[in-house]
Chains A and B, each alone.
Chain A
Amino acid sequence: MKKILTIIGREFKSYFSSPIAYIFIVGFLVISGLFFGLNLLASKEATLRYFMGNTIFILIFIIPALTMRLFSEEKKTGTLEILMTLPVRDYEVILGKFLASFLFYLLMLFLTFIFPLTLFVIGKPDLGIMISNYLGLIFFGMALLSIGLYASTLTENQIVAFITSLGFIMILFFIHALKNVFGEALGPIFEYVSLNSHFDNFSKGLIDSKDVFYYLSMTCIFLFLSLNILESRKWK
């Protein structure tokens, strides 16, 4: 546990050691702020509902950038060799890196609180729905981060990691579009697997345990896959 914390500390700090983190934070806030403003002007409703739809779309691009270097950089520079010959278990490394990126993501979400706060100033939004919205973003982000982490274990090239995770996420995000193609028998499967369809309830203000379960299992699956890749160096 202590080692996981040590890794989280290092990884989290390393986000801020280059301008990249600031660029992402600012970029994220500017783009999401833009959408927020446009939605507000168009709908004249004190709600985050439309904003949520735009935000998860921005996250599809932002999150792979947050996770792309987690393993690929260590592979490229060889620091992974020092890390993995320290007395640390493989799962501790995976969890440490994942939680560091999660922490950074939470920080980004925290900074968007300025948007709901604005709504409270100008109108009377429903706090419950907002909480549900943000919980949705947290779970949605978690799943995306684990996919990004997995892509990062596959390659030593950050750009390849970025594109790979973007690809995985895109597929899992839009896969529900196939439900009509495959008819009633297989259709629901595609709908169930989709990252997108599980977000609907959250954006409406419904917190369904099924959706929470879905995002958490996606996270676990991809963390487990990452662990497998990390352990593959131990294949004889």
Chain B
Amino acid sequence: MIEVKEIQKKYGDFKALNDVSFNIEKGEVVGFLGPNGAGKTTMMKIITCFMPPTSGYVKVLGHDTIESSLEVRKLIGYLPESAPLYTEMEVSEYLRFIAGMRNIPKSKIDSQYRKVVEICGLSEKVRMPIETLSKGYKQRVGLAQALIHEPEILILDEPTSGLDPNQIIEIRELIKKLGKEKTIILSSHILPEVSATCNRVIIINRGQIVAEGEPDKLVEASQSGEIVHVKIEGPKATIEKALSKIKDVTNVGLLEDVEKMSVFKVTRKEKSKSDLRKDIFDAVVKNKWVLYEMNSEEKSLEEVFINLTKEEKYK
């Protein structure tokens, strides 16, 4: 649906994007992830036809963003960072202006308008000037303007930045709902956001793609070894000894020691055939201790991200 091929973008001598290629299929929700200034916004500006790439091309449903820019723009709904809107206008006035600019026939403007107001939960605010709305509602107006012509593709730049936690959850839910019907690209430098809403992540750093894939798989791929926290009742020293004897275990540390119960951190560097949790459980059963808690410490996307973007810096 969206084909990005060997994109380069230079601002003077600075390479904002360097040889970026990827494809996005219909129905995907893709997250661009990267530190500030990595090139996410530049990529979006190129796909939305705001500016052309220095070299390479982007095709949206076969239309080139430079040669048939107007066609591409019709297919896309775009919400730039921090939802820049004509704040002096009323919500309804603004959405109708966008509808007019989007060439929606007069007979359909009303129904389309009501539809996006409904989807974005704006019905109580339509008569209010945009400048009087909260950040969360402004963001919704921004989403509404991007949706009014029922585009197949939605491009959202940092859709939740600057919102409070409740608003973030609301916008995320909205994106999830929209993601069932539309192809969505969103950018973020906040990781939970991407893992919560996207089914594919493209991690960009310093103008290049450093990793790409499903959020879970990215985590899995970068994970080597296992770490398990376990709370056991029994003789401390014996337990510690037994745990460290489990195959391939490289380190056992005592984290907490409350009355008879102790919490251990068991580390296994290399991945083994059997799950470390199973091995610990077996050891506990064999020795007839009591197991109170056990959980494995999983690497989050956050760590994957930090690793990838850090390594890049020292290269």
Judging by beta carbons under 8 Å apart, are B84 and A81 in contact?
yes
Residue B86 lies at the interface, judged by CB distance under 8 Å to chain A: yes
Residue A6 lies at the interface, judged by CB distance under 8 Å to chain B: yes
- Taking CB atoms, residues of chain B closer than 8 Å to A84 are 50
- Taking CB atoms, residues of chain B closer than 8 Å to A89 are 70
B101: contacting residue among A6, A13, A14, CB under 8 A: A6
B74 to chain A, nearest CB (A): 5
B47 to chain A, nearest CB (A): 10
Residue A234 lies at the interface, judged by CB distance under 8 Å to chain B: yes
- Taking CB atoms, residues of chain A closer than 8 Å to B294 are none
Residue-wise, chain A 1-25 has the 8 Å CB interface mask toward B (1 for contact) of 0110011011001100110000000
Q: Which residues 118-170 in A have Cβ within 8 Å of B in the complex? A: none
Chain A binding site: helix, strand, loop or mixed by DSSP? helix
- Taking CB atoms, residues of chain B closer than 8 Å to A2 are 100, 103
How far, in whole Å, are A84 and B145 apart by their CA atoms in the complex? 14
Judging by beta carbons under 8 Å apart, are A87 and B86 in contact?
no
Residue B261 lies at the interface, judged by CB distance under 8 Å to chain A: no
Known: A2-B103, A10-B97, A88-B101. A79 touches B51 (CB 8 A): no
Residue A82 lies at the interface, judged by CB distance under 8 Å to chain B: yes
- Taking CB atoms, residues of chain A closer than 8 Å to B214 are none
| Residue total for B at the interface (Cβ-Cβ under 8 A) | 30
B50: contacting residue among A7, A18, A77, A85, CB under 8 A: A85
How far, in whole Å, are A200 and B157 apart by their CA atoms in the complex? 54
Residue A236 lies at the interface, judged by CB distance under 8 Å to chain B: yes
Judging by beta carbons under 8 Å apart, are B84 and A78 in contact?
yes
- Taking CB atoms, residues of chain A closer than 8 Å to B76 are 85
Q: Which residues 67-102 in A have Cβ within 8 Å of B in the complex? A: 77-79, 81-89
How far, in whole Å, are A18 and B81 apart by their CA atoms in the complex? 26
- Taking CB atoms, residues of chain A closer than 8 Å to B80 are 78, 81-82
Known: A6-B101, A85-B49. A79 touches B70 (CB 8 A): no
Q: Which residues of B pack against A, CB within 8 Å? A: 45, 48-55, 70, 73-74, 76, 78, 80-82, 84-89, 97-98, 100-103, 145
Closest 5 CB pairs of A and B: A78-B84, A17-B88, A6-B100, A87-B73, A85-B48
Q: List 18 A-B contacts (CB under 8 A).
A: A2-B100, A3-B101, A10-B97, A81-B45, A81-B78, A82-B84, A82-B85, A82-B98, A83-B101, A84-B50, A85-B48, A85-B73, A87-B70, A87-B73, A87-B102, A88-B101, A233-B51, A236-B55
